[in-house]
Amino acid sequence: MNGGATVNLTAPTTGTYQGVLIYQDRRATLSNQSNKVNGNSASKLQGAVYVASQEVEFTGTTGLNTNCFQLVARRITWSGNSAITNVCPAGSGAQSFTGTAVRLVG
């Protein structure tokens, strides 16, 4: 997502992937790829993003307004004026990834 992009995505509320917005198979061989949100992106993402072998970058004046955004990534980079407003209300699918802690793993 770049420049003036506005993307509104919501994870399914039922089924096998309930609460999962984006999923990358952990067996995928694209470990050096990067997912970027930068510029003046004003997007709404609701659900979990699982890209365990890839990097996610938030740069520039990135802004996300989310009802429930959860992120599992190999590396997360924040720079510039990046910001996320995030709340996970009951019934939002937050149970897709259990636990309520932020962990930095090296």
More confident residue, 67 or 6: 6
Q: Any idea how long the chain is?
A: 106
pLDDT at 72 (0 to 100): 83
Decide: pTM greater than 0.95. Answer: no
CA separation (Å) from 38 to 1, 16, 69, 87?
6, 31, 17, 21
Residue 81: predicted pLDDT = 77
pLDDT tens for 28-85 read 766 667 888 776 666 777 888 888 888 888 777 766 767 667 788 888 888 877 777 7
Task: Encode 71-100: b = buried (16+ Cβ within 10 Å), e = exposed.
Answer: bbbeeeeeeeebeeeeebeeebbbebeeee
